[in-house]
Amino acid sequence: MQLRDYKANEVRNVVVLGHSGAGKSSLMEAALYYTKGIEKYGKNQDGTSALNYDAEEGKRGVSVYCHVAPILWKDMKINLLDTPGYLDYQGEEVTGLRVGDNALIVVDAKESLKSGTIRAWKEAVLRQQLPTIFFINKLDDEQADFQTRYEELREKFGKSVILFERPIIENRKVLGSVNILRKKAWYYDHPDKPEEVPANLKEEIDAYYNEISEVIAMGDDELMEKFFSGEAFDEHELAKGLRLGVRSGEIHPVYCGSADQQTGIERLLDLIHEYFPSYAEKGSIEAEDLKGNPVLLETNEQEALSAFIFKTIVDPYVGKISYLKVMSGVLNSDSQVYNPKKDTTEKVSQVYVLNGKYQIGVGKLFTGDIGAVVKLQKSETGDTLGTRAKEVVYPEIDYPKPMLGYAIHPVSKADEDKMSVGIHNLMLEDKTIHFMNNEETHEQVLYGLGDQHIDLILSKLKSKYKVQVTTSVPIIQYRETITQTAQAQGRYKKQNGGAGQFGDVWVRFEPCDSEEMVFAEEVFGGAVPKQFFAPTETGLREAMKKGPLAGYKVVGIKATLYDGSYHPVDSKENAFKEAARLAVQAGLPKAKPVLLEPIGKVTVMAPEEYTGTIMGDVTKRRGVITDVSANETGEQIIQAEVPMAEMLTYATELRSMSQGVGTYVLEFDRYEPAPRDVSEKVIATRKEAQQ
Over residues 292-312, the pLDDT tens digits come to 999 999 999 999 999 999 999
Q: Render pLDDT for 668-688 as a digit per residue (tens, 0 to 9).
A: 999 999 999 999 999 998 888
CB 25 within 8 A of CB 44: yes
The predicted pLDDT at position 46 comes to 64
pLDDT on residue 410: 95
- Give 176's pLDDT tier (boundaries 50, 70, 90): confident
pLDDT at 2 over 80: no
Share of the chain above pLDDT 90, in %: 76
How many Å apart are CA 205 and CA 75, to the nearest integer? Answer: 30
Query: Where is average pLDDT lowest: 69-78, 123-132, 175-184?
Result: 175-184
Per-residue pLDDT band at 469 (split at 50, 70, 90): very high
**Can you give 531-591 as a three-state secondary structure string?**
HHHHHHHHHHHHHCCCCCCCCCCECCEEEEEEEEECCCCCCCHHHHHHHHHHHHHHHHHHH
Residue 629 confidence (pLDDT) above 70: yes
Q: How confident is the model at residue 99 (pLDDT cuts 50, 70, 90)?
A: very high
pTM of the model: 0.89
Distance CA 164, CA 147 (A): 13
pLDDT at 50 over 90: no
pLDDT of residue 646: 96
Confidence of residue 111 (pLDDT cuts 50, 70, 90): very high
Q: Which of 143, 134, 12, 2 is nearest to 80 (CA)?
A: 12
Query: In sequence order, which residues have a C-beta less than 8 Å from that of residue 114 and are 6 or more positions away?
Result: 19, 22, 108, 659, 660
Quick one: pLDDT band at residue 481, thresholds 50, 70, 90? very high
Tell me: pLDDT of 94 over 90. Answer: yes
How many whole angstroms separate alpha carbon 246 and alpha carbon 340?
37
pLDDT of residue 690 exceeding 90: no
Q: H or E segment at 505?
A: strand 501-511
CA atoms within 13 A on the CB side of 327: 24
Mean of the pLDDT values across residues 236-249? 89
* Residue 467 phi, psi dihedral angles, 5° rounding: -115, 125
Mean pLDDT of 281-302: 95
* pLDDT recorded at residue 323: 96
Task: Kindly indicate the confidence band of residue 544, based on its pLDDT and cuts at 50, 70 and 90.
Answer: very high
Q: How confident is the model at residue 337 (pLDDT cuts 50, 70, 90)?
A: very high
* Of the candidate ranges 9-23, 39-53, 526-540, 593-607, the one whose mean pLDDT is the lowest: 39-53
| Range with the poorest average pLDDT among 16-20, 194-198, 292-296, 315-319 | 315-319
Distances (CA, A) of 576 to 340, 487, 490: 54, 17, 9
**pLDDT tens column, 141-155:** 888 999 999 999 999
Stretch 391-409: mean pLDDT = 95
pLDDT of residue 617: 96
Strand residue runs (E) in 74-216: 76-82, 102-108, 132-137, 161-163, 165-170, 173-179, 184-187, 190-195
* pLDDT score at 551: 92
Q: Give percent of the chain with pLDDT exceeding 70.
A: 99
Whether residue 316 is predicted with pLDDT greater than 90 in this model: the reply is: no
- Distance between CA atoms of residues 22 and 19, nearest Å: 6
Q: Given the DSSP bridges, would you call strands 173-179 and 165-170 parallel, antiparallel or unpaired? A: antiparallel
In three-state secondary structure terms, 219 is: coil
Q: What is the mean pLDDT of the chain?
A: 92
Report residue 237's pLDDT band, with 50, 70 and 90 as the boundaries: confident
Q: How far apart are CA 548 and CA 650, in angstroms?
A: 31
Cβ contact 356:53 at 8 Å = yes
